Structure 1
C-alpha cells in the first residue's frame, strides 16, 4: 500500500467512525519544534481550501496546558513526532481523552503510536535516501487534501495527488543546483552572529523551521524569523549593508509580497542578503493550480540538507551536537 493509499484509507476510517456522531468538524495539527513547523503546509492548505472542516495548529505543550474548548468527538487530531517526544505523546492522550480521533505521524514506533487510534509512517527529510514526497510535511498535507476531498470535494485533488510524485525528482535536481550557491552563502555568513530568515504565506513554516531547528538548534547561531509582509512594519529597521538576511521566495497567490520584499532589500541591503526562489528550485514543474501548496515540501529539505550542512562545514560546527537537548531534564 502506498502512502497516498494509506492516507486515503485512514481518513475514510476516521470519517466512517464519526458518521453517527456528527462527523469531523475540526482538525488540529499537533507537534513540537520541527514537527510543529512541519505541520504548517497542512494548516495553510486547510485555511485556503476547506470550508466544512475548521483547522488549527498547536505546539504540543501549548495544546496540553491550554486545550481548545472545541476539542471533542467531532475533532481529528493529527499528532506528529519522529521518535515520540514526551509532550507530544501527552498531547495525543489529551486529545483522545476529549473524544478526538487521533492519527500518529511517525518515523519510529513509540508511546505516540501506542496512544493514537491510527498511525502513518513517514520518511525523515534529514536522511538523503528518504523520499521527499513522504516526509512529515508531505504526509500531513496529503491528509489535509484527502480530508477536504472526502468531506466536501477538492477540485484539484487529482492534480495535487499526482504532484506528490514530482516532489522527490524536483528535490534531487534542486540539491545539485543549490550546492555551489549554498557554499558561497555559507562562506559569506560564517562570521555573522545572527542570520535573519524571511518568508511569508506558504513558505513561512519552512523559514521558521530553518531558523529554530537548523540555525539555532543544530548550529547554535542566533536566528530571527521574519514575516515578509510584517518586514515593513518594524523589522526592516535592522537592514543595512552588514545585515545577514535569507529570503525565501514562493510561488502562489502571495508571491507579490515576496517581490515587494525583494525590491526593498536589494536596494538597501548588502552582499549578505540572499534570496532563494521557488522558481529556481523547480516548483514550476508542478501545475500552477496546486504548486502553492508544495513550496514547503521542496524548501524544507533543501534548507536542512544543503544550506544548513554548508554552514556547518564552514563554521566547523557538528550539526549533530547539542548543548542541552537530549542531555538535560527539561
Structure 2
C-alpha cells in the first residue's frame, strides 16, 4: 500500500479516538540505526507528535508507558530477528498500531497489522529510495505533512525521486578513494568513526555493522559534538579515524573536528563529505535529512567491501553470528 494512503487511513480510523500522538521506531542492529533519519527528522520538525527510537530488546524489557492506542509502532527486520518479533508482539499488546518493514516474510509480518516490503541496502540493484531508512523517513515526513502540514513535504518527495541517481554518481566517485583508504587501513586493529547530527546513524552503522561485525575491526563511534569532551585525547599521528561530514545545521561541529585532525592527526585521518557526494543536488530546505540516505549505502557497498577485499576477509563471514547460541 502506498505510504500516504496508508497513513491517511490510519488517521481517519483514529480521528475520533485521539489520533496519532506517538511514534516508536523499533529494530535491532543496522535496522535500528536505519531509523535514525526518521527520528532525527521528527526531533527537529514535529510540534505535536512524540517520537522515540528503541532497540528491540530494550522495548521488550522496558516499554514506555506512553505506548498505547494512540501510538504508531514502526518495526523493522530484514528476515525476522527474534527480539524484534517479540517487540512487535509487546507493542501490539499495548494497543499500538504496528507496521513492519521487511525483506523476507517472517513472524514479524505475521504479527504486525500492516507490512511494507523494502529493498536491502547491500544489493546493488536496490533503489535507494526503497531501502528501509528511506521508507522510514518517508513515513515520518508524510505523517507530519498530514498532521501538521509540514511545508517541506513536496521538496522531500522530489528528493526521493533523485536520491538513487545521486547515490550512483557517488558510488563511482568514491571507488578510487575507498581503494586508497582500505590499503592504508588494512592492518588497523581499531578504526574510530566520527559523525554528528543527521549523519550519526550512518556513523553508528558503519562502526557496529560494517567494521565490527563484518570485518571484525574494533570501532568506537564518537559524536563530533562530544569529540572535544574526551575522545580527542586519544588522537595522534597514527590514529585511524573516519569522519563523516554532514550537510546541514550541525556541519560546524564536523568542521571543528577537521581543523583538529589537520593539526594533530595523521595520514589515516580520513574525511568523507556529503557535499562531495552530491547532496546539494537536493533542495536546501530538506537536504539535511538525506545525509544518512546517501552515506550509508556508500559506506556499506564501497568502503566496507574494499576493506574486506584488501584484508582478504570475506565480509559475509562471521565469528559467532549464525554459528553459536547467544
Under a length normalisation based on structure 2, what TM-score does the superposition of the two structures give?
A: 0.99
Counterpart check, 1:89 vs 2:88: no
Shift of 1:18: 1.5
**Aligned pair partner of 1:309 in 305, 322, 325:** 305
Shift of 1:313: 0.6
**Aligned pair partner of 1:250 in 241, 246, 250:** 246
Counterpart check, 1:127 vs 2:123: yes
CA RMSD of aligned residues (A): 0.7
In 2, the alpha carbon distance for the partners of 1:116 and 1:44 equals 24
**Aligned pair partner of 2:275 in 261, 275, 279:** 279
**Aligned pair partner of 1:267 in 263, 266, 271:** 263
Shift of 1:85: 0.6
Counterpart check, 1:67 vs 2:63: yes
Counterpart check, 1:195 vs 2:191: yes
In 2, the alpha carbon distance for the partners of 1:229 and 1:42 equals 20
- What are the superposed Cα offsets for residues 232-270 of structure 1, whole Å, 9 maximum, x if unpaired? 000001100000000000001111111111111111000
Shift of 1:329: 2.2
**Aligned pair partner of 1:179 in 168, 175, 179:** 175
Specify the SS of the correspondent of 2:150.
Answer: coil
Counterpart check, 1:289 vs 2:285: yes
Shift of 1:166: 1.0
Residue 29 (structure 2) aligns with: 33
Counterpart check, 1:239 vs 2:235: yes
Counterpart check, 1:13 vs 2:12: no
Structure 1, unpaired ranges of 5+: none
Shift of 1:16: 1.7
Specify the SS of the correspondent of 2:243.
Answer: strand
Under a length normalisation based on structure 1, what TM-score does the superposition of the two structures give?
A: 0.98
Corresponding pairs, count: 326
Counterpart check, 1:114 vs 2:126: no
Q: Stretches of 4+ moved more than 2 A in 1?
A: none
- What are the superposed Cα offsets for residues 96-147 of structure 1, whole Å, 9 maximum, x if unpaired? 0000001000111111111111111111010000001110000000000011
In 2, the alpha carbon distance for the partners of 1:228 and 1:22 equals 39
In 1, the alpha carbon distance for the partners of 2:104 and 2:16 equals 33
In 1, the alpha carbon distance for the partners of 2:273 and 2:148 equals 33
